[in-house]
Amino acid sequence: MDFPTRKRKLRLREFDAISQIQQLQATARTPIAVSQSPNGTLNPNVPLNGIPRVLQQVRASKVSSSGAWTTTVTFLQNSQDSNYHSAKIWVKGYKGNTNPTLISTASSSPVSFKLDATGETVQIIVQACGNSGDALLATSPTTVLAL
């Protein structure tokens, strides 16, 4: 018995693994123009269709707080970037997790949150967010911190 096949529709969800730009390109009838550097790669410093520029000067520090670390992340946001709305703070390598885990969201720097003192060295990623979408996580600035 053959079953009829249906084309699957791509559903846009906030936390899909595919970036919003890639989702729009996949569903658009014509390709969306993006800013590229001379070697053909995406230029993260130029806003793309309402997506904010990447953040700069990302730093992380920690202060001991009863078996945990109060972690503070600072970043510099371009004040002339009208697409910027907030920043998402991701941690990769925390408690053995190799995937980025969203820890906090804030509209300005600094951002403070608690992490357990695990002895691990983690990667902290700061992703710029805008009303029309987020900067690519893969090109967002990072820093490392020993817990």
Instruction: Provide the pLDDT for residue 29.
Output: 46
Burial per residue of 6-39, b for 16 or more beta-carbon CB atoms within 10 angstroms, e otherwise: eeeeeeeeeeeeebbbebeeeeeeeeeeeeeeee
Q: What is the pLDDT of residue 83?
A: 87
Domain membership of residue 76 (yes or no) is yes
Give whole-number Cα distances, 93 to 62, 63, 108, 124, in Å. 17, 19, 24, 9
Instruction: For residue 110, say if its preceding peptide bond is cis, omega within 30 degrees of 0.
Output: yes
Cα gap 125→120, rounded to integer Å: 16
Tens digit of each residue's pLDDT, the chain (147 residues): 555 555 555 554 444 444 555 555 555 544 444 444 444 455 555 555 778 888 899 999 999 888 899 999 999 998 888 889 999 999 999 999 999 999 999 999 999 999 999 999 999 999 999 988 898 899 899 999 999
* Residue 10: inside a domain: no
Q: Is residue 90 part of a domain?
A: yes
Domain membership of residue 5 (yes or no) is no
Rounded CA-CA distance 112/103 in Å is 10
**How many domains are there within the chain?**
1
Is residue 51 a part of any domain in this protein?
yes
**57: Cα within 13 Å, side-chain hemisphere:** 7
Residue 142, in any domain of the structure: yes
Q: For residues 105 and 47, give the distance between their C-alpha atoms in angstroms, rounded to a whole number.
A: 20
Taking CA atoms, 63 is separated from 58, 66, 75, 118, 147, in Å, by 17, 10, 18, 14, 10
CATH of the domain at 110: 2.60.40.10
Asked if the structure places residue 91 within a domain, the reply is: yes
Name the residue range of residue 89's domain: 20-146
